[in-house]
Amino acid sequence: MGTAPNSREIRCKSCGILLAKTDAGGMTVRRGDLQATFDGDFHASLVCYRSSCKTLNVIRLSTAGRASRDTA
């Protein structure tokens, strides 16, 4: 995941590993060869992929008007 201007890292609230990044275009999740991008108003539940962690992280995202917000 490259660092774009005005991007924000979404990290696991327990272990701190990078789960996703958000910017004006939405939220992007990359893992291996998988890349998924989401935009609009939504919430997502991401389970940490670190085998020793597996913590549930809840993300709220709004690409309309305001910057994204991580509630984890």
- Give the whole-angstrom CA distance, residue 52 versus residue 30: 20
Hey, where are the domains in the chain? 8-70
Per-residue pLDDT tens digits of the chain, which is 72 residues long: 555 678 899 999 999 999 999 988 889 999 999 999 988 898 899 999 999 999 999 988 887 654 444 445
Q: Which residues, other chains included, contact 60 with Cβ-Cβ below 8 Å and sequence gap of 6+?
A: 42, 43, 68, 69, 70, 71
The two three-digit tokens of residue 37, written as one number: 């991008």
Q: What is the pTM assigned to this prediction? A: 0.75
Which residues face 30 on adjacent strands?
35
